[in-house]
Amino acid sequence: MADMNQPQQHTEAERIFGVTCRNGHVSYFDKQRVCSSNNRKVVRGDGTELDELYLTCSQCDDAMIVHVNCEAYR
Ligand SMILES: [Zn+2]
């Protein structure tokens, strides 16, 4: 849950990331949006905490599992 009282610290360019599906399409997602959805779970690596996001290709509906550091966007 994001703190609504905090000033915006990230530019849109930093928030947008591209994911390539198995068919080679690139879909772009907004970290701030996908990191605040419930369609994710947190996985832990070596000293880092990553969010496992379940995203869908915008062109062929291929399901994609993407690991993103959502720390700054929760
Ligand atoms: Zn696709």
Instruction: Say how far apart CA 72 and CA 74 lie, in whole Å.
Output: 6
Domain spans, the chain: 13-73
Instruction: Say how far apart CA 14 and CA 30 lie, in whole Å.
Output: 9
- Residue 34: in which H helix or E strand, if any? helix 31-34
Contacts of 70 (CB under 8 A, 6+ apart): 31, 34, 35, 40, 50, 51, 53
Question: Does residue 14 sit in helix, strand or coil?
Answer: helix
CA of 26 to the centre of ligand 1 (A): 7
- Read off the pLDDT band of 59 (50, 70, 90): very high
Residue 42 confidence (pLDDT): 83
CA of 51 to the centre of ligand 1 (A): 21
- Identify residues whose C-beta is under 5 A from ligand 1, the ion: 21, 23, 25, 57, 59-60, 62
- Read off the pLDDT band of 6 (50, 70, 90): low
How confident is the model over 15-57, as pLDDT tens digits?
999 999 999 999 999 999 999 877 678 888 777 788 999 999 9
